[in-house]
A and B are shown apart, each in its own frame.
Chain A
Amino acid sequence: MEQILEVTGISKTFPVQGMFGRKKGGVSAVDGVSFSLPKRGTLGIVGESGCGKSTLARLIMRLIEPDTGKVRFEDADLLQMGKSELKGIRKHIQMVFQNPYSSLNPKLTILDNVAFPLWANGEAKEKARQNAYKYLDAVGLPRSYAAKFPHHLSGGQRQRVAIARALVLEPEIVIADEAVSALDKSVQAQVLNLFQDLKKEFDLSLIFISHDLHVVEYMSDEVMVMYLGRVVEQGPKEQVFGKPAHPYTQALLKSVPSMEIQSRTLEEVAALKGELPSPLNPPSGCRFRTRCMFAEERCAAAAPPPVEVGTGHTAACFLLEEHS
């Protein structure tokens, strides 16, 4: 399948400054992440909060400048682009943000919030507004909302506006960063379905970031599991959810609350012990080893390389090397 976006070895370490601006160290937020997004496909990115999912999204958008890596989009490397080139390409990749209460400008009407990206790209004001109406329709917001301000709207409605704004530039790729996390469960389902519908209607490729495994399972074709800035497992949804290979993915899947009343042993529920270690001083070698029940000495020595465990399905763990 044709890949619309290819990310190779992207990393970002945020410097931590002590007093008087001296460098004290760095927070390794994203470390050597590679993936590709198939055209018209959906890539789900899961992981606990703080594992670098949102940073990754912002690195791809170049809202944060990456330290190293490549982002290839339509035969161009986004990270090599100058400012003016970047401006032209930005409209092809749009983002839906996490917090619907912060992602809309409270001083602009709903219509102007949606129309702004068009003004930014040189369209005349009234024409942009006419165009924006179409996208309000597409996300299922009545036109009577156009003149309202964001504080009149509920969280779900605001997120619809945010989606309309992301679509108005007719992007090829939409990155949804925890786009439904702030919403009620019932509204979540509506917005997820809206994403599915719009994806078909506008031929979108989607990167769907969430900490919610159910959401990712529902939305994605491909899944990537992140832990502390690194990819621990990636592959087709059926394989990752059906035959999780990495101890972290297994633990994560077990810790998901389920509606099925089965005899779940206490051991299983407590599969994931402790807190996420601080990214300021991440564990050496495999970053998951501090919480892994299979951890050995060699896990501290070096980072395990990704091992192919199925077609297009890789996981980064030493344990898997032996089996293959």
Chain B
Amino acid sequence: MASNIQHLTEATIGKDRVKEPSRARELWQAFCKRKMALAALIVLMVILIGCLAAPWTAPYDPYEGAVKDRLLPIGTPGHLLGTDEQGRDLLSRILYGGRLSLLSGFAPVLLAVLIGGGLGIAAGYFGRLVNMVIMRSLDIVYSFPAILLAIGISASLGPGISNVIISATVVFIPPIARIAETAVKEVRKEEYIEAAISSGASHSLVIRFHIFKNIFNRLFVYSTTQIGICLMLASGLSFLGLGVAPPTPEWGFMLNNLKQVIFIDPIVTIVPGVFIFITSLAMNLVSDALSDVLDAKG
């Protein structure tokens, strides 16, 4: 045996740490093989960057309209997506409005991951009473239909984008907590957790190094599938007038404004809806591919 050890170490003298091919790079290459997902990602990036850089990308002021230019059709020179019922350039309003719409799609999911993920990890890791208290309380929230719950919370808090975000967050906490809890329960059974505990590691260290690293993929993939749904939910709330106050542009609320002219110019009316649809679809395609890629990689 001793000679064996010597033999093995001699062969590698001088080599300290050999660099493995980077995991991120491998994942990116696998992702790029999925053409649909790659296209969706590009669309998503274009929308995202376009909206974030709205002051530079938008051709007009989103608040300023000209009465004579009301309801110009799509493709009018100077107004690519036409104009709305007050003669404001629709493309500019879409780009500015996207900032709030995208914020209300991403922020609740992010917050729900932080809160729900934390609760789920605690429930799954400590089990027993902690699990009971946390998961049963969340079940109460879960038992309400999502839309109804969101409308209820939003309505009681009053209109405003931050209240939309709060109510959507509440809606997404229970499912995300449940995913985290299930994943943690599975990882908890592994022998490396026992090994870590028997080395004297504190709970926070075990959770950080052993639990979180091993549930991250599942939590991440699931959360990305929720962003599209959240975007729709938040737009729905805005459509109902629970979101922004006029004249602030926001996709859901723009849809509400434009619905009055649906019989006059139906094509212009659906423009914000198309953007909600495309963004949400692209998000789902990307998350689908992510789930494939990350699962295949363990």
Give residues in A with beta carbon < 8 Å to B.
58, 61, 63, 86-88, 90-91, 93-95, 97-99, 102-108, 111, 113, 116-117, 119-121, 137-138, 140-144, 146-149, 151, 162, 165-166, 169, 190, 193-194, 196-197
Complex Cα–Cα for A196 and B298 (A): 35
Whether the pair B298, A120 counts as a contact (CB closer than 8 A) is no
Output the nearest chain B residue to A168 by Cβ-Cβ distance: B199
A186 to nearest B CB, angstroms?
Answer: 13
Interface 0/1 of B2-45, CB less than 8 Å to A? 10110011011001111110000000000000000000000000
- Say whether, besides A142-B9, A142-B12, A105 and B200 are in contact (CB < 8 Å): no
What residues of chain A lie closer than 8 Å to B192, measured between beta carbons?
102-105, 113
A14-B17 Cα distance, complex, nearest whole Å: 46
Residues of chain A lying within 8 A (CB to CB) of residue B191 = 97-99, 102-103
Q: A151: which B residues are within 8 A, CB to CB?
A: 298
CB closest chain-B residue, reference A90: B200
- Residues of chain A contacted by B195 (CB below 8 angstroms): 95, 97, 103, 162, 165-166
Instruction: Kindly identify, within residues 192 to 221 of chain B, every residue whose CB is under 8 Å from any CB belonging to chain A.
Output: 192, 194-202, 205, 209-210, 213-214
Instruction: Please tell me if the beta carbons of A194 and B1 are within 8 angstroms of each other in the complex.
Output: yes
- Does B292 interact with chain A (Cβ within 8 Å)? no
Tell me whether A116 and B11 are in contact (CB under 8 A).
no
Q: How far is the CB of A152 from chain B (nearest CB, A)?
A: 8
Instruction: Digitize B267-296: 1 where CB-to-A-CB distance is under 8 Å, 0 elsewhere.
Output: 000000000000000000000000000000
- CB interface residues, B 225-260, toward A, < 8 Å: none
How far does the alpha carbon of A169 sit from the alpha carbon of B214 in the complex, in Å?
24
The listed residue (A97, A111, A138, A143) touching B194 by CB distance below 8 A is A97
Contacts of B139 in A (CB 8 A): none
Q: Are A105 and B1 in contact (CB under 8 A)?
A: no
Which residue in A105, A116, A119 is a CB contact (below 8 Å) of B214? Answer: A105
Q: Is the CB of A144 within 8 A of B200?
A: no
Closest 9 pairs (CB-CB, A-B)? A120-B201, A117-B199, A107-B213, A103-B191, A142-B12, A97-B191, A90-B200, A140-B5, A102-B191
Given A137-B9, A143-B9: A197 and B199 within 8 A (CB)? no
Residues of A within 8 A of B61 (CB): none
Chain B's closest residue to A175 (CB) is B198
Contact of B8 among A93, A120, A142 (CB under 8 A): A142
CA distance A247 to B128 in the complex (A): 42
Shortest distance between the CB of B73 and any CB in chain A (Å)? 55
Residue ID in chain B nearest A138 by CB atoms? B5
Decide: A94 and B209 in contact? CB cutoff 8 A.
no
Residue of A nearest to B17 (CB): A147
Given A97-B191, A106-B298, A151-B298, A143–B17 Cβ distance below 8 Å? Answer: yes
Cα–Cα distance between A87 and B200 once the two chains are bound (Å) = 5
Q: How far is the CA of A308 from the CA of B114 in the complex (A)?
A: 62
Bound state CA distance, A96 and B199, in angstroms? 11
The answer to whether A105 and B12 touch across the interface, beta carbons within 8 angstroms, is no
Interface size on B, residues (CB 8 A): 32
Question: Looking at the complex, which one of B4, B15, B197 makes contact with A144 (CB distance below 8 Å)?
Answer: B15
Interchain CB contact under 8 A, A121 and B213? no
Residues of B within 8 A of A108 (CB): 209, 213
Supplied contacts A90-B199, A91-B200, 8 more A-B pairs, CB within 8 Å:
A88-B200, A97-B195, A116-B199, A140-B4, A142-B12, A147-B17, A147-B20, A165-B195
Q: Write the chain B residue with the least CB distance to A107.
A: B213
**Distance, CA A140 to CA B5, complexed state (A):** 4
Contact of B199 among A91, A138, A142, A193 (CB under 8 A): A91
Quote the shortest CB–CB distance from A181 to chain B (angstroms).
Answer: 13
Structural contact, A141 and B8, CB atoms closer than 8 A: yes
Known: A95-B198, A116-B201, A120-B200. A143 touches B16 (CB 8 A): yes
Complex Cα gap A151–B298 (Å): 10
Give Cα A133 to B4, complex, Å: 17
A99 to B209, CA, bound (A): 20
- On chain A, the residues within 8 Å of B198 by CB distance are 61, 63, 90, 93-95
Q: Which of A87, A105, A111, A117 contacts B213 (CB 8 A)?
A: A105
Closest chain A residue to B194 by CB distance?
Answer: A63
Q: Report Cα–Cα, A58/B5, bound state, in Å.
A: 31
CB-based contact B213/A119 at 8 Å: no
A113 to B210, CA, bound (A): 10
Chain A residues positioned under 8 Å from B12 (CB to CB): 142-144
The winner among B11, B16, B198, B205 for most chain A CB atoms within 10 A is B198
Q: Across the interface, name the chain B residue whose C-beta is closest to A62.
A: B198
Given A116-B199, A165-B195, A105 and B209 contact (CB-CB distance below 8 Å): yes
Instruction: Indicate if the CB atoms of B1 and A193 lie closer than 8 Å.
Output: yes
Complex-state Cα separation, A116 to B192, whole angstroms: 11
Known: A102-B192, A103-B191, A108-B213. A197 touches B197 (CB 8 A): no
Do A142 and B196 have beta carbons less than 8 Å apart? no
List the A side residues contacting B8 at CB < 8 Å: 140-142
Residue of B nearest to A133 (CB): B16
- Closest Cβ neighbor of B198 among chain A residues: A61
Report the nearest A residue to B215, measured CB to CB. Answer: A107
CB distance from A102 to the nearest CB of B (A): 4
- Among B1, B5, B19, B200, contact of A121 (Cβ-Cβ < 8 Å): B200
- For A138, what are the chain B residues with a Cβ–Cβ distance below 8 Å? 5
B40 to chain A, nearest CB (A): 28
Query: In this complex, what residue of B is CB-closest to A95?
Result: B198
A271 to chain B, nearest CB (A): 34
Chain B's closest residue to A169 (CB) is B199
Instruction: Report the minimum CB–CB distance from B180 to chain A (whole Å).
Output: 16
